[in-house]
């Protein structure tokens, strides 16, 4: 079941507890405004789990001060694994002490709208408790001085495992998981690492037969600056970098890691997910003509016409 339109429910449950997983590394320049935007959230209970991966710029002091003044729940400060942002988020995902109705990922340098979490919880509360569900959205792009400079691309096609196998559609900084999705991602992340936690969550929830809602309404200001690790992917320069990355085999390497990770977690997928995973693996190993025909038959797709053509070009070049 895939939803694209949000219902209009009443205010999010005041009893709902949200855990915000915040990874920090030398983010002192923008960290305080981000924490202020968390404090301003309209949901009642927020537990912050901040993992500092060895900052040397004063970020640790900002976190300590925020913990002292935090009044919306608990504020935990942990030491990260010192192995990059992906492993830092993974260390939080697998943390058994994190127990919440909903779990959100947070970057250190964005600005959240006051109702960012409330909008996600509104939708997640409509989903069955025992079924993995993930809320995500577009982003509003802002510069270093908080000025709006555009939006991330809007993806019109429905989220699905057939899309997730070849594309990640939303940043983790927009994602909120229900308890069932959090348990799924936590168990899978104990078994294997991943390329990026946003793509990993999208793959797992759709592959397990869960529900994904992609909202056209952005709930955060996604900051673009010279030191953020992942920025907007909609510029001409970004597209050129993607083409070069594809040609050099980088995308194929990502695919290998994703598929190996899914294979390690195949028992967590539903029957349809396992069948599609196996079929895609066979298609990737086939000869050129069978590969292209098989790819078309599988119905895998990216969200834009150019991107969709790109997966066939990548397959023809042996880089999918």
Residue 73 pLDDT: 97
So what's the pLDDT on residue 225?
Answer: 72
In this predicted structure, what is the pLDDT of residue 2? Answer: 43
pLDDT < 50 positions in the chain: 1-10, 229
What's the confidence (pLDDT) of residue 14? Answer: 63
- 257 and 216 within one domain: no
57 located within any domain: yes
Q: Say yes or no: 250 and 305 in one domain.
A: yes
CATH of the domain at 46: 3.90.550.10
Query: Are 180 and 258 in a shared domain?
Result: no
Kindly state whether residues 61 and 36 are assigned to the same domain. Answer: yes
Domain-located, residue 156: yes
pTM above 0.75, yes or no: yes
For every residue of the chain, DSSP letters joined together read: --B-S----SSPPTT-EEEEEEEESS-HHHHHHHHHHHHT-SSSEEEEEEEE-S--SSHHHHHHHHHHH--SS-EEEEE--SS-HHHHHHHHHT-TT---SEEEEE-SS-EE-TTHHHHHHHHHTTS-TTS-EEEEE--EEE-TTS-EEEEPPP--SPP-HHHHTT---S-GGG-EEEHHHHHHHHHHHHH---S-HHHHHHHHHHHTT-EEEEESS--EEEE--TT-SS--S-SHHHHHHHHHHHHTTHHHHHHHHHHHHHHHTGGGS-HHHHHHHHHHHHHHHS-HHHHHHHHHHHT---SSHHHHHHHHHHHHTT--
Same domain membership, residue 297 and residue 217? no
Domain-located, residue 162: yes
Judgement on whether residues 262 and 307 belong to the same structural domain of the protein: yes
* Total domain count, the chain: 2
Predicted local confidence at residue 288, as pLDDT: 96
What pLDDT is recorded for position 246? 62
Q: Are 24 and 121 found together in one domain?
A: yes
- Domain holding 241, by residue range, is 236-316
Domain boundary among 223, 254, 279: 223
Q: What is the pLDDT of residue 5?
A: 37
The predicted-structure confidence for 247-256, as pLDDT tens digits, reads as follows 667 788 999 9
Last residue of a domain, one of 179, 200, 223: 223
Is residue 5, in this structure, part of any structural domain at all?
no
Of 163, 189, 223, which marks where a domain is finished? 223
Q: Supply the mean pLDDT for the chain.
A: 91
Q: Do residues 160 and 294 share a domain? A: no
Q: Over the stretch 56-115, which tens digit does the pLDDT of each residue have?
A: 999 999 999 999 999 999 999 999 999 999 999 999 999 999 999 999 999 999 999 999
Residue 29 lies in a domain: yes
Residues 244 and 203 in one domain: no
């Amino acid at each position: 079941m895939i939803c694209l339109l949000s219902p209009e429910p009443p205010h999010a449950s005041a009893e709902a507890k949200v855990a915000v997983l915040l990874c920090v590394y030398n983010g002192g320049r923008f960290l305080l405004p981000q924490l202020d935007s968390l404090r301003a959230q309209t949901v009642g209970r927020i537990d912050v789990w901040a993992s500092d991966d060895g900052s040397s710029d004063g970020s640790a002091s900002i976190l300590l001060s925020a913990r002292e003044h935090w009044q919306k729940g608990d504020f935990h400060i942990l030491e990260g694994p010192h192995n990059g942002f992906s492993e830092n988020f993974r260390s939080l995902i697998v943390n058994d002490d994190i127990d919440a109705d909903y779990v959100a990922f947070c970057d250190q340098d964005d600005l959240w709208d006051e109702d960012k979490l409330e909008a996600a919880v509104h939708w997640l509360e409509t989903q069955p408790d025992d079924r993995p569900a993930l809320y995500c959205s577009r982003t509003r792009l802002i510069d270093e001085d908080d000025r709006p400079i555009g939006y991330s691309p809007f993806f019109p096609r429905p989220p699905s495992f057939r899309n997730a196998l070849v594309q990640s559609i939303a940043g983790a900084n927009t994602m909120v998981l229900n308890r069932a999705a959090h348990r799924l991602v936590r168990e899978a992340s104990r078994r294997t690492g991943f390329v990026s936690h946003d793509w990993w969550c999208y793959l797992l929830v759709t592959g397990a037969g869960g529900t994904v809602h992609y909202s056209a309404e952005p709930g955060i200001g996604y900051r673009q600056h010279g030191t953020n690790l992942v920025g907007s992917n909609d510029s001409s320069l970004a597209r050129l970098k993607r083409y070069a990355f594809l040609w050099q085999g980088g995308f194929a390497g990502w695919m290998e890691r994703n598929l190996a990770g899914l294979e390690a977690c195949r028992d967590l997928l539903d029957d349809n997910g396992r069948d599609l995973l196996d079929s895609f693996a066979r298609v990737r190993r086939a000869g050129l003509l069978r590969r292209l025909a098989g790819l078309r038959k599988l119905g895998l797709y990216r969200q834009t016409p150019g991107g969709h053509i790109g997966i066939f070009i990548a397959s023809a070049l042996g880089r999918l």
